[in-house]
A and B are shown apart, each in its own frame.
Chain A
Amino acid sequence: DQQVKQNSPSLSVQEGRISILNCDYTNSMFDYFLWYKKYPAEGPTFLISISSIKDKNEDGRFTVFLNKSAKHLSLHIVPSQPGDSAVYFCAASAGGSNYKLTFGKGTLLTVNP
């Protein structure tokens, strides 16, 4: 039972355009959401997060939107750059005693020059 779903295995975007990566979740107990970026042969790198009490969080070129009623979040990258090409993982936490992260399967973003 996958509680965090990234339904697009891959996404290809032109440099300078917007990249939109989507994530859906099923567990209503999730109260914190994170995006990680992963390059080959490296561990995931924390990118941006959002608490369930907010619907938007922005950090430079990266914005995360949260729609709690739809149990959906998205990561917008504007403008996209070739260096953004990586696998992006959506992760969620239900807090509690250990704040374990539940990850989606990831979306491979390719930004073409």
Chain B
Amino acid sequence: ETGVTQSPTHLIKTRGQQVTLRCSSQSGHNTVSWYQQALGQGPQFIFQYYREEENGRGNFPPRFSGLQFPNYSSELNVNALELDDSALYLCASSIGGVSIYEQYFGPGTRLTVT
């Protein structure tokens, strides 16, 4: 059974640029959630995708957007990067409608905006 994987591991971008982060869900999981973890904080919910549709969104502006593909992998896109977007971005997968409470996390992508 393959776990959740994320790429890239680290990324440095300049303010105003755009970034795309990728996530492959755990085998058999059809739901992907994205979280932002700032330094010294717990993960904060950005949004969730279930069967390629957005299924709930946290308190993040529209410049945070996402996609889920037929194989249930997912992308997080952030436009017009700001310094405060520097954080660890975590992807979590789960089985929609069955064990959706337990979400399994990838190792994260560390984004630094300068």
* Chain A interface residues toward B at CB < 8 A: 4, 6, 32, 34, 36, 41-46, 49, 89, 91, 93, 95-106
Q: A100-B48, A100-B56 are in contact. Are A44 and B102 (CB under 8 A)?
A: no
Which of chain B's residues have a CB closer than 8 A to the CB of A104? 42
Residues of chain B within 8 A of A96, CB atoms compared: 56
**What are 15 A-B pairs at a CB distance below 8 A?**
A34-B101, A43-B6, A43-B92, A46-B105, A49-B101, A91-B42, A95-B101, A96-B56, A98-B33, A98-B56, A100-B33, A100-B45, A100-B56, A100-B58, A101-B43
Report the nearest A residue to B40, measured CB to CB.
A105
Point out the residues of chain A lying under 8 angstroms from B55, CB to CB.
Answer: 97-98
Cβ of B108 within 8 Å of any chain A Cβ, yes or no, is yes
Is the Cβ of A89 less than 8 Å from the Cβ of B42?
yes
Q: Which of B43, B94, B107 has the most CB of A within 10 A?
A: B43
Closest to B44 in A: A103
* Chain B positions 29-80 with a Cβ under 8 Å from a chain A Cβ: 33, 35, 40-45, 48, 50, 55-56, 58
Q: A34-B102, A46-B104, A49-B102 are in contact. Are A97 and B56 (CB under 8 A)?
A: yes
Which residues of chain B have a CB within 8 Å of any CB of chain A? 4, 6, 33, 35, 40-45, 48, 50, 55-56, 58, 90, 92, 94, 100-108
| Interchain CA distance A101-B55 in the complex, whole Å | 13
Shortest B42–chain A CB gap in Å is 3
Complex alpha-carbon distance, A69 and B104, angstroms: 29
- A42 and B48 contact, Cβ closer than 8 Å, known pairs A100-B56, A104-B42, A105-B40: no
Across the interface, name the chain B residue whose C-beta is closest to A104.
B42
- Contact assessment for A44 and B90 in the assembled complex, using a CB-CB cutoff below 8 Å: yes
Tell me if B101 and A99 are in contact (CB < 8 A): yes
Distance, CA A44 to CA B89, complexed state (A):
12
B48 contacts A43, C-beta separation under 8 Å: no
In the assembled complex, the Cα of A25 lies from the Cα of B65 at a distance in Å of: 29
Q: Which of B33, B43, B58, B105 contacts A45 (CB 8 A)?
A: B105
Assembly CA distance A103 to B41 (angstroms)? 9
Q: Is the CB–CB distance between B107 and A42 below 8 Å?
A: yes
Complex A-B, nearest 4 residue pairs according to Cβ-Cβ distance, in ascending order: A98-B56, A103-B42, A43-B105, A100-B45
